[in-house]
Amino acid sequence: MTRMLLIGPPGSGKGTQAERISDRLGIVAISTGDIFRYNVKEQTPLGVEAKKYMDAGDFVPDSVTNKMVRDRLTEDDTASGFLLDGYPRTVAQVEYLDGILAEKGQSLDVVLQLTADDDELVARLLGRAKETGRSDDTEDVIRHRLELYHTQTEAVVSQYADRGTLTKVDGIGAIDEVTERVLAAIESVKSAS
């Protein structure tokens, strides 16, 4: 069983790598971004609320995000493990996730951080915006999201580093190369425990 987090700045390849890890390890990948975008598209009450924040490049409030993650982690497909992509993003969310897992007598096995240079990420995301037409990927919004990542999510990274559960992986390079680095890092953590 593997319970893990994949952390990284916007555009670092988290979604792509989450899919690949999910397939290789046979665990479900849970992306808060995908869940938010689905709800926005379907215009659910959660989606209407989330869209205001997403369009500005801001994080959706913890109260909304935490409830969504708690509900998702109770589903049957998480029993054999999971990979969280995009959560937790704040120290308060780390504490909330700790509580969810503690209720089940569980903890995280692996926390991976994909690293990449900001200018590389801006170029990647602008390219993706042209290909997919994502309204939340303008240069100003991208730079704002990167700033939020550095000011808020870096505290999450530090917390997991202090616990000794963080492993950093270079997210720059061909997709297959990054996947091999990620899988090697997971294997290294598993064999060390």
Catalytic residues: 14, 89, 128, 134, 145
Question: Does residue 111 have a known ligand-binding role?
Answer: no
Question: Does residue 173 have a known ligand-binding role?
Answer: yes
Question: Does residue 81 have a known ligand-binding role?
Answer: no
Question: Does residue 93 have a known ligand-binding role?
Answer: yes
110: tokens are 């692996």
Question: Does residue 15 have a known ligand-binding role?
Answer: yes
Question: Does residue 40 have a known ligand-binding role?
Answer: no
Question: Does residue 12 have a known ligand-binding role?
Answer: yes
Question: Residue 127 to residues 53, 161, 175: CA-CA distances in angstroms?
Answer: 22, 32, 16
- Residues 32, 193: Cα–Cα separation, whole Å: 28
DSSP string for 4-60: EEEE--TTSSHHHHHHHHHHHHT-EEEEHHHHHHHHHHTT-HHHHHHHHHHHTTPPP
Q: Residue 87 CB: number of other CB atoms within 10 A?
A: 25
Question: Does residue 99 have a known ligand-binding role?
Answer: no
Residue 88 preceded by cis peptide, ω within 30: yes
- Known binding positions for ATP: 11-16, 128, 173
- Known binding positions for AMP: 32, 37, 58-60, 86-89, 93, 134, 145
